[in-house]
């Protein structure tokens, strides 16, 4: 474990971005920009702003977007039409939700241009919808783990686990900003 954290911390300043030259960043960025067609390209160098330790393997993950093909699912299309005339699926993947009793449950997390959805992984029925107007902030630890929390004060918080958390947070932040105008979604990093 100590070896992994020394790889992640990189330079003396602790910033992951210090380990990569500008040429390496441009090279990785150019490979990503030709990706799978989403209007929200994934840039792992900007996602955590140096606040979170990263595993070396996490900096080379490809942007996948709608991996569950929710945009092509007729049931999901019908669900989205209830909330918007112009729905756009930006991300979907199977994640682990940890409920109030600390029980782990597999769910499909779907991020659209208007909300974040929790779907049943078998039949894609909606379990929960968090509109960007209800989402207050995202929190995560500074450690190189896969946990993150979506905070919706008027409802209840949502603890999730995903190896694709960097992509998820990046997509949600950009969709939130586009939905709210110039308002940024706050991401809080602490170890409490």
In the predicted structure, residue 43 carries a pLDDT above the cut 50? no
Q: What is the per-residue pLDDT for 51?
A: 54
In the predicted structure, residue 161 carries a pLDDT above the cut 90? yes
Q: What Cα–Cα distance (Å) separates residue 53 from each residue in 8, 64, 132?
A: 6, 22, 27
Per the model's pLDDT, the better-predicted residue between 75 and 14 turns out to be: 75
Q: Comparing C-alpha atoms, which of 36, 20, 16 is closest to residue 28?
A: 20
Q: What pTM does this model have?
A: 0.70
> Phi and psi for 156 in degrees, rounded to 5?
-145, 155
What burial letters (b/e) apply to 26-64, b meaning 16+ CB within 10 Å? eebeeebeeeeebebebebbebbebbbbbeeebbeeebb
Query: In the predicted model, what is the mean pLDDT of residues 68-90?
Result: 93
CA 171 to CA 109: how far, in whole Å? 12
CA 192 to CA 189: how far, in whole Å? 9
Q: pLDDT class for 144, splitting at 50, 70, 90?
A: confident
Q: What Cα–Cα distance (Å) separates residue 179 from each residue in 58, 75, 115, 133?
A: 28, 24, 9, 9
CA 169 to CA 172: how far, in whole Å? 5
In the predicted structure, residue 46 carries a pLDDT above the cut 60? no
Q: What is the per-residue pLDDT for 84?
A: 84
Reported as a single tens digit per residue, the pLDDT across 95-132 is 999 999 999 999 999 999 999 999 999 999 999 999 99
Mean pLDDT of the residues in the chain: 77
Q: Comparing C-alpha atoms, which of 173, 135, 180 is closest to residue 154?
A: 135
Per the model's pLDDT, the better-predicted residue between 44 and 30 turns out to be: 44
Reported as a single tens digit per residue, the pLDDT across 58-73 is 555 677 889 999 999 9
**CB within 8 A of 26, min separation 6: which ones?**
none
């Amino acid at each position: 474990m100590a070896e992994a954290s020394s790889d992640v911390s990189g330079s003396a300043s602790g910033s992951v971005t210090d380990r990569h030259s500008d040429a390496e960043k441009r090279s990785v960025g150019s490979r990503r920009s030709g990706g799978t067609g989403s209007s929200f390209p994934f840039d792992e160098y900007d996602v955590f702003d140096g606040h979170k330790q990263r595993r070396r393997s996490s900096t080379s993950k490809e942007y996948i977007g709608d991996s569950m093909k929710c945009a092509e699912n007729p049931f999901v299309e019908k669900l989205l039409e209830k909330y918007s005339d112009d729905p756009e699926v930006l991300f979907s993947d199977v994640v682990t939700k940890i409920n109030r009793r600390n029980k782990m449950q597999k769910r499909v997390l779907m991020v659209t241009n208007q909300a974040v959805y929790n779907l049943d992984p078998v039949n894609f029925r909606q379990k929960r919808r968090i509109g960007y107007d209800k989402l207050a902030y995202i929190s995560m630890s500074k450690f190189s783990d896969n946990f993150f929390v979506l905070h919706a004060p008027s409802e209840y918080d949502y603890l999730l686990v995903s190896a694709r958390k960097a992509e998820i947070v990046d997509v949600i932040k950009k969709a939130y900003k586009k939905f709210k105008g110039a308002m940024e979604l706050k991401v809080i990093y602490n170890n409490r």
